[in-house]
Amino acid sequence: MGDRKQARDEEFQGFVIGRWPRLMRTAFLLTGEQHAAEDLVQSTLEQVYVAWRKVGSADDPEAYVRRVMVNAHARKHRRKLREFLARGDDSGLVREIADTGDRIAQADDRSALLKALAQLPPRQREAVVLRYWEDLTETQTAEAMGCSVGSVKSNAAKGIAKLRAIPGLADTVTQGGRK
Amino acid sequence: MTSADRETNHHMSDSDIALLLADATDEVEIGIAPYDAVIRGGRRRRARRWAVAAATALVLAGSSATLAAAGLPGRDSGGEGAVATQPPATATRTPGVFEPANRVTLASGTEDGKEWRVTIDTWPAPVDTAEARATLNAMRAHGEYPADIRKASDLVGKVAYFVHRDYGGASTMVLENAVPASDVMTRSDITYIPVPLDPGRTEDIRLVVGSVAKVAPRVDCAWTDGTVTVVKRAVSGTGTDVEAIRQVEGSPYAWFVCLAPKEAQFKSVEVIK
């Protein structure tokens, strides 16, 4: 019994250490901020620890972790419930991305992208990050976000359209990427 | 090539955006995984869960029959075709006096031999900070807490609600919020969340839970198989096995639940004026 618990603990430790970098990167894109990202990943892993007996033996623990993280992220934003839920429109919720030319011009694509990402409504941000950074399928993204595939498509399309509207990014894209 | 490219056949910029996102993650300092802190936090969460369970059991043991009938999380009763749980009659609000949540069953049924149920707990708006504090303590004991309320005064004047989906004995909170008691939705407003009926089949989004204006006459839920479920206002005696728009005492909104046929999934939902 003790051996089994120890094995489970070691397994969890390996999971935490192994997944930490990737989770931090995802959380950073979701939150846009270092400390918020650390908090999000840590609280996600705490919840995973509580359920590790089940999660560790599941076929796809990654899916569970993603779901917990996206839920935790979404909970932070439930103040604007209409934003959180698939309401069909996001009028009044999206601030325009347009900025003074100077700032965008001098900023590199990275900061412009992060800024634009931070301005997306949470559900659009989640859809974009999961689809384009985590490279999940629409079905996997829907699972992580707890919504329909249609909602993923809609949120990802709106989010991407806004990101494409960034002047600096548009230039980069037309040149075929930065790297 | 990203899965986004493969699935949607978007232009190349999808890949570029993926590259830019990857590049942007270089901004974050990864650091060393705080394993010990995670373990400490995880143990605290586990202890808190046990404490909540113990507190709930105590409330159950000491509660009146009315409170038990109103239902506490995970303790709902009834089966197929159960009649809507009526909230206890609430008289006028007395400042400073805490009132427990009303639990109302919005829908229920049986599928593949498993009972399912969607319930809503509505907590009356506290009139002052002291009452808000008492309400928050009671919420905690029920295993409920509004995510956006950081201090007791934030809850003053707000109704908190928690919607649970029970399936085969497992209860999951699918929706929660604290909203001004005076909030009014317009006739065409709708707020909804599509979720799986069976929490074990996360790809199977068949259940829709939502709120509409109290005066909304009809909601149409459309499914991927082309069928539509028409949800009309409940009348006296409408059982919870019938999909209906229900008034929930204490909530500024009316609520509905609809379920897709088997093999179909959620497509869209709209208020029909």
Three-state SS string over B195-261 comes to EECCCCCCCCEEEEEEEECCCCCEEEEEECCCCEEEEEECCCCCECCCCEEEECCCCCCEEEEEECC
Residues of A in contact with B2 (CB under 8 A): 131-132, 135
Q: What is the pLDDT of residues B194-242, one digit of tens each?
A: 888 988 887 788 999 988 889 999 999 999 999 999 999 998 888 888 8
Q: What pLDDT score does A106 carry?
A: 32
Q: What is the pLDDT of residues B134-161, one digit of tens each?
A: 999 888 888 888 877 878 998 999 999 9
C-alpha radius of gyration, chain B, whole number: 22
Q: Say whether pLDDT at A124 is over 80.
A: yes
Q: Answer for the pair B78, B110: CB distance below 8 angstroms, yes or no.
A: no
Q: What pLDDT score does B259 carry?
A: 96
Nearest CA in chain A to B191: A87
Dist CA B147 CA B207 (whole Å): 23
Residues of A in contact with B204 (CB under 8 A): none
Question: Where in chain A are the domains?
Answer: 1-76, 80-179
Q: Which of B7, B38, B40, B219 to mutate to test the interface with A (most CBs of A within 10 A)?
A: B38
Q: What pLDDT score does B2 carry?
A: 54
As a CATH number, domain A80-179 is 1.10.10.10
Q: Say whether pLDDT at B244 is over 90.
A: yes
As a CATH number, domain A1-76 is 1.10.1740
Report yes or no: B112 at the A interface, CB cutoff 8 Å. no
Q: Say whether pLDDT at B11 is over 60.
A: no
Q: What pLDDT score does B62 carry?
A: 36
Residues of A in contact with B194 (CB under 8 A): 86, 147-148, 151
Short-list B51, B43, B62, B249, CA closest to B137: B51
Answer yes or no: do B18 and A133 touch at CB < 8 A: yes
Q: What pLDDT score does B50 carry?
A: 54
Residues of B in contact with A88 (CB under 8 A): 190
Chain B residues 58-87 with a CB less than 8 Å from chain A: none
Chain B residues 204-263 with a CB less than 8 Å from chain A: 205
Q: Answer for the pair A115, B20: CB distance below 8 angstroms, yes or no.
A: no
* Confidence tier at A174 by pLDDT (50, 70, 90): very low
DSSP secondary structure string for all residues of A115-168: HHHHHS-HHHHHHHIIIIIS---HHHHHHHHTS-HHHHHHHHHHHHHHHHT-HH
Q: What pLDDT score does B115 carry?
A: 94
- Which is more confidently placed, B3 or A7? A7
Q: What pLDDT score does B248 carry?
A: 93
Answer yes or no: do B176 and A113 touch at CB < 8 A: no
Q: What is the mean pLDDT of chain A?
A: 74
Q: What region does B2 belong to: left with phi over 0, alpha with psi -120 to 50, or beta?
A: beta
Q: What is the mean pLDDT of chain B?
A: 77
Dist CA B140 CA B93 (whole Å): 22
- Taking CA atoms, B4 is separated from A89, A137, A159, in Å, by 23, 7, 13
Report yes or no: B203 at the A interface, CB cutoff 8 Å. yes
Nearest CA in chain B to A82: B191
Q: Say whether pLDDT at B22 is over 50.
A: yes
pTM: 0.47
Q: What pLDDT score does A95 carry?
A: 25
Find all residues with CB under 8 Å of B113, minimum gap 6, and list them.
none
Answer yes or no: do B176 and A78 touch at CB < 8 A: yes
Q: What pLDDT score does A76 carry?
A: 66
Provide the 10 A C-beta neighbour count for residue A33: 16
Range of weakest confidence among A131-145, B31-45, B60-74: B60-74
